[in-house]
A and B are shown apart, each in its own frame.
Chain A
Amino acid sequence: MSSDQTPPAVEDVSTQEARMGDGVDDRFNSTLREAFGSTPFILTKFDKFMNWVRGSSMFMLQFGIACCSIEMIHTYAIKHDLDRFGAGIPRASPRQADVIIVPGTIVSKFAPRMKRVYDQMPEPKFVVSMGSCTISGGPFQEGYNVVKGAEEVIPVDIHVPGCPPRPEALVYGVAKLQERIANGESSPVTVKPYELEQFGDLEQDELVDKLADEIDEDDLVMRYNWDNSP
């Protein structure tokens, strides 16, 4: 598309020379360095430094669920390019990731799996919930099979509302998360999540009795109490 532009005139300057500029070599005197003044040292708390590092280089989990994942891909891809903000290339394995974006509706069959994937991520880990479905169930809130929000299953740091949110909104949400991480803030867990527990540990009731011959005592299960859902 830009082929009709004329190429810049070739000057007889090597790249190295061009970067050095005129005068004394000041490659080590960056603007950051100037801001520090005469001392080459930064004095900070180790925790604070680690938070800054964490917020500036985040590995996202490649985790697509529903419609929002299409907009999430657009956020990673050309034009919006989330990588510009130090929020990394998506990682396929939860063991290499420290941020999970939950992009879509969570249904009863998937919630235990998502919980498992979340558990496999190393600490410290952060969650961005994307879209209305992960806030409340969104347009599917009244469905018989839909978990009413990601916070029913895992704790969430940042909610990005929308159906689906625009890529710009997700970029803003991730930037907010980075800011919070860099400041060392963490989110309180506000909702008691559904837990994975062993079938034998469930409270005995009609339903548990009925399923007793189908499920082993030590199988992991998740119990949904729909009438308590928000």
Chain B
Amino acid sequence: MSLEKPTPDTATEVGVTEDGLDYDALADLLGGHVLDREEHVNAEGFVIRPDEVQEVLSTLKNEAGFDHCACVTAQEYDDRYESIYHLRKFDDPTQELSVVVPTTKDDPHSESAARVYDTADWHEREAYDLVGIDYDDHPDLRRILLPETWQGHPLSQDYNQDQPQIVTLRENANPLEEDHRSEDDPDTMFVNIGPHHPATHGVLHVKTVLDGEQIADIEPDIGYLHRCEEQMCQQGTYRHQIMPYPDRWDYVSAGILNEWAYARAAEDLADIEVPEYAQVIRTMSAELCRIAAHMLALGTFALDVFGDFTAIFQYAFRDREVVQNILEDLTGQRLMFNYLRLGGVAWDLPEPREEFFEKTRDFLDDLPHKLEEYHDLITGNEIFQMRCVDTGVLSEEMVKQYGATGPVARGSGVDYDLRRDDPYGYYDELDWNVVTEEGGDNFSRVLVRMREVEESARIIEQCVDLLEQWPEDEREIQANVPRTLRPDPDEEIYRAVEGAKGELGIYIRSDGTDKPARFKIRSPCFSNLQTLPEMSQGEYVPDMVASLGSLDIVLGEVDR
């Protein structure tokens, strides 16, 4: 509940020292499994054999305390395929380790990590789908983003983008034909929810098998908004062409938070120092985005639970309009801000500055009253409590297994917030708290978001004070960055920021040109959505819809 994080009990974890990780000790722990060691910008990479993945990862998880498999990156080199498991710790995400698994070019087989980290299930399916690595011993290796009948793997080197493709419509077969399809249990019924459905928050398809009214089996089917974001970023130049795309990952006005993820990764890769003044502006605008994003989550959640298109939904959108007005004054856009630049921000605060500060302060002054109103309407409402308390429960254990982050993790009592644990921007200079709730149910997740809005408001207030007093001749908004940015070849980095939905990470590998050789997005929603079967097994359909709403997924970020 405060910036002072309780010191974890790390005495038993191998390789933990006072000043960071001791990679030699970790290498000793793994012994002969480590074939080679690589130097990545964020951490060291241990190269291991493709048939020893489970053994190595479970040793690292159980004995060295790497309980968070943040991301799995797959890529193809000229001479090999490679999967990288980015491991870190929920207690201290600055302790990172990459496990690099190369496989041969002609027959890319690698052992699956899904038995060690549940979250690797979907990440490896994505790697198989887009890059084409086969994972042995994987529970269910199918395509995840592209249609099942797709030909080729689009991020592999020999993919021909102009070849024709055939896509079927059979997945959405008439559910009535599928009635009573299970022979041993004739009472189950198959129901398609989505991809066009008002409760799925976009184009998500949920395949549901009901037993009576309860959910017997559920599988989210994604990929209806797979817009090739990684390909787009690999085609763009670092300096200007990539920055517009992050706005479109998590598009519920969380643009600046996403832009920051790319900015942070690229700045650390190219060793760019951002001026302090620009960091304060970034921090302020990012938190404004967070408020807008949480307001939308709140409004649509009320819509899901009450079916209320009138009061709460409209109130939430009224408040979003205010935030969007402020952001529009600052960035010139309502939704797709494109405001951050590598090494700073696009421009200074709008003139006259006093007017901008006044407008922001007015918004902050009104906020407590409005939040009280929301609490009256939502969290204090008995019907709402009956719907949400103790439904969709997600345990702390499951959060860690599935790599869920953000309000979803904090609603289950996992004290994990990259703004504090892996500080960037101006956050460590400011006074604010990380919000956690212990319940793990739909109610806690909503409550976390509402309380985070208060904390964001506190951050913005302090930033406004700082900006107001900043001496006029020290308002430096942009560092000196070369016009064409070419990071050194073969540098690799994984960096994450706390987006509106959780840990938004970017992996970049440079090859000496002005475009990244591999650009991988670790989307928080992708991992969070994976927990849906866990929390809705045995629940009623409306409770599943509430759980889906409380996960607050954005399909643009799930599918990328």
Contact = CB atoms under 8 A, between A and B. Distances in A.
Interface in B5-21: none
Given A142-B232, A214-B149, A224-B164, A112 B169 contact: yes
Contacts of A219: 168-170
Contacts of A27: none
Nearest to B251: A67
Interface string B143-158: 0001111110010000
B253 interface: yes
Interface in B313-355: 313-314, 317-318, 320-321, 334-336
A55 B43 CA distance: 62
Interface stretch (A30-38, A42-50, A205-213): A205-213
A64 B225 contact: no
B172 A116 contact: yes
A63 B224 CA distance: 13
Contact of A65 (B147, B165, B170, B225): B225
A56 B162 CA distance: 44
A135 to B, nearest CB: 15
Q: Which of B148, B203, B314, B317 has the most CB of A within 10 A?
A: B203
A160 to B, nearest CB: 14
Interface string A86-119: 0001001010000000001101111111101100
A221 B253 contact: no
Contact of A139 (B148, B201, B244): B244
Contacts of B168: 112, 199, 215, 219-221
Chain A interface: which size bin?
35 or more
B232 A224 contact: no
Contacts of B220: none
A117 B335 CA distance: 28
Contact of A146 (B172, B228, B235, B252): B228
A67 to B, nearest CB: 4
A73 interface: yes
B224 A107 contact: yes
Given A66-B251, A69-B202, A139-B244, A226 B164 contact: yes
Highest count of chain B CB atoms <10 Å: which of A66, A225, A227: A66
Interface size class of B (residues with CB under 8 A): 35 or more
Contact of A226 (B161, B195, B228, B336): B161
Given A62-B198, A110-B195, A221-B166, A78 B317 contact: yes
Contact of B321 (A62, A74, A146): A74
A134 to B, nearest CB: 13
Interface in B211-230: 223-229
A166 B321 CA distance: 12
Nearest to A65: B203
B453 interface: no
B45 interface: no
A179 interface: no
A214 B143 CA distance: 14
A108 B147 contact: yes
Nearest to B300: A73
Contacts of A107: 223-227
B163 A226 contact: yes
B225 A66 contact: yes
B151 A109 contact: no
Contacts of A222: 166-167, 169
Interface in A149-197: 163-164, 166, 196
Interface string A6-17: 000000000000
A223 interface: yes
B296 interface: yes
A104 B166 contact: no
A144 B172 contact: no
B314 A113 contact: no
B42 to A, nearest CB: 28
Most chain B CB inside 10 Å of its own CB: which residue of A73, A146, A216: A73
6 contacts: A64-B201, A66-B251, A74-B321, A77-B317, A202-B166, A211-B166
Q: Give the 4 A-B residue pairs with the shortest CB-CB distance, closest first.
A: A143-B228, A67-B251, A77-B317, A227-B162
